[in-house]
Structure 1
């Protein structure tokens, strides 16, 4: 281990004996009391020395070995310490690609803030290279979203869509103006490719065409017609539910951006639950939806301005990366919505529906009644428990 104080956190002394790591309250931490020698020793925790050499340096500063070991342990326990050599073989392979890692250093610094164990941020970043994500939709949201995922180090980002690029599909960071008239799918892949800092690693030395398709870690449904994100068609997601593939909805409809729900089949509410819940609350919903789906004119251009589409793409990419890195984002069991011109995000819960064939309610009932909860504490429609689901779906990806 080569310990280093996480460089993403700025360090400042509150007084002679108290040091603060970090500026923003979300990740800032205060440590003290700390004597002058120990404060000076902190500058040696820069990732260039292993524990034996740090002990030698500590003795020269009048700090016994047990003090050095205790400080390292204390900083690691507080989530303030990283390991410049940690993360495992995949991380070592990434370190060997200096130009690639330099592109990803801001992402690594961010991961180090949410991955408390030394070396865990690098491990997560390296793990992204082997993940496969599919984005369904090559419009203003989908292509920008796919580019963000590729740029953040996700190794395989596939974009699917039909038709040809229209002038209103063009967006900064997405489809370029010179792609107008080309096939959307090909233009989108060509736009996403340069965003990736590296070519995806091959499996077992095979070329991509020779590889067996292992499935996707995540499918993101980002349709150009935002109605399909606002009111997704349940039957379209049935193959994803059947295969156990996690999927996330994102889009813009009539000046409202939508991110979520993130569907973890069998554990969180799906598009069918969403549809049935709306029909329960509003009996006219099926009639309205049928008219909206069939009544749009082909020459109508959707209300999807650049700022809102970029906002939705960024937030959806953030939720997707959090899930791929092993966390449970707040879109699991909920939809985030924001509208122009206020851009005020708010969450709407999506509850599992007892009549939905996805089986989420039945599974929740089985898990809860087999535990220690009393019947009064059991609620079939409760939102997902982060501690329970994160481990399950981390194994999945």
Structure 2
């Protein structure tokens, strides 16, 4: 192990014997009382020395026996320490691709803020390279979203859509102007390859559609605004049957939507959303039928900045899930409308009339005490409560700072 105080956290002295790591309340912690020698020793925790060399440095600085190991252990327990050489073989392979890692260093630093164990951040970043995600929809939201996931290190991002690129499909970070007239799916895949820090092998245009297993997540980002507002349960039937996690995102009439993230059989799905809306508004099925049968519009209202914001938030929720977390879109839809732009979450409760079976599990089985989905994926980090408790155990010297 080559211990390193997380460089993503800025450090400052609150007074002569108290150090604060981090600036924001979400991640900042304080350490005190801090003697001068230990404060100076912190500068050596920069990832260039192993524990044996750090112990020698500690002895030269007249630190008590065992002090270095205790400090390293406590920093690690509190989530303030990283390992400059940790993360396993996949992380080592990523370090060997300097140009790729340099592109991803801001993402690595961000992951380190929420990583629980030393080496966990680069391990998660390296794991993204083996993941496959499919984005269904290559409009202003879907194409940008796909490029964001590719740029964040997801190994393969497949895009599915029909038709040809129209001028109103273009967006900075998505489909470029030279793609007008090209097939949407092919144009989006080219954009995805350009966004990737490590170019994946190119799949030929004659490759058959890949809708089978192997994806970690499917994202539904339809260009049809009715499909955004009232997603058809039948569209997701194959995903539900195969147990495939899927996330909805899009823009409808000046309102951006992210969610729900559906964990089949665990959280509310499109069918649950339809049943819940029908309970609250008996006219809902009649309205949806009229909207779906109405004459399609050539260019639907989809503000460029709103579409970009939706793509960014959806990509962030997707990455949180892929990294083993439980984002707040699991069982909820985040919505924001022009011109006020106030994001708010609308729960999508599991409905007993929906055949997905999520309601049969009972709310307590897949929801935490605070009502949010439990973190169920491998490699999850401890909760913030556990992190704070870990700090409190440090012989009374640590306290969370808010």
**Fold agreement, TM-score > 0.5:** yes
Segments of 5+ residues of structure 2 without an aligned counterpart are 382-402
Partner of 2:221: 222
- For residue 112 of structure 1, give the secondary structure of its aligned residue in structure 2: helix
Pair 23,136 (structure 1): closer, same or farther in 2 beyond 3 Å: same
**1:228 is paired with a residue of what secondary structure?**
helix
Shift of 1:365: 7.3
- 1:167-206 superposed matches below 5 A: 167-200=167-200
How many residue pairs match? The answer is 374
Indicate the residue corresponding to 1:241 in structure 2: 240
> Distance between the aligned counterparts of 1:152 and 1:361, measured in 2?
35
After superposition, give the CA deviation of every residue in 1:225-280 in whole Å (9 maximum; x if it has no partner): 12212210000100000000000000000000000000000000110010011111
Instruction: Provide the C-alpha distance between the structure 2 equivalents of 1:225 and 1:270, rounded to a whole number of angstroms.
Output: 19
In 2, Cα distance between equivalents of 1:265 and 1:230: 20
Structure 1 residues 319 and 122 mapped into 2: Cα distance closer, same or farther (>3 Å)? same
Check the 8 A contact 2:326/2:373 in 1, yes or no: no
Please give the secondary structure, in 1, of the residue aligned with 2:355: coil
| Counterpart secondary structure, 1:386 | coil
1:59: which partner in 2?
59
Following superposition, the deviation at residue 85 of structure 1 comes to: 0.5
**Corresponding residue number in structure 2 for 1:304:** 302
Shift in Å, 1:363: 2.5
Native 8 Å contact 1:267 1:384 kept in 2: no
Q: Which secondary structure does the structure 1 equivalent of 2:58 belong to?
A: helix
1:212–1:242 Cα change, 3 Å: closer
TM-score (norm. length: structure 2): 0.89
Partners of 2:271 and 2:353 in 1: how far apart?
A: 9
> How far, CA to CA, are the matches of 1:126 and 1:330 in structure 2?
24
- State which of 344, 356, 360 in structure 1 corresponds to 2:342: 344
Change (3 A) 1:234 1:308: same
Tell me the C-alpha RMSD between the 2 structures: 2.2
Corresponding residue of 1:372: none
**Cα distance in 2 between the residues matched to 1:367 and 1:311:** 33
Instruction: Give, in whole Å, the separation in 2 of the partners of 1:255 and 1:212.
Output: 31
Q: Is the 8 A contact 1:147 1:174 kept in 2?
A: yes
Q: Is 1:271 aligned with 2:270?
A: yes
2:134·2:215 contact (CA, 8 Å) conserved in 1? Answer: yes
- What CA distance in whole angstroms lies between the structure 2 residues aligned with 1:35 and 1:243? 58
- Alpha-carbon shift at residue 341 of structure 1 (Å): 1.3
Give the CA deviation at 1:366.
10
Q: 1:50 to 1:127 in 2, by over 3 A?
A: same
CA distance 1:177–1:161, change in 2 (3 Å): same
Residue number in structure 1 paired with 2:393: none
> How many Å separate the matches in 2 of 1:110 and 1:276?
39
Question: Aligned residue for 1:140?
Answer: 140
Query: What are the ranges of 5 or more consecutive residues in structure 1 without an aligned counterpart?
Result: 203-207, 369-378
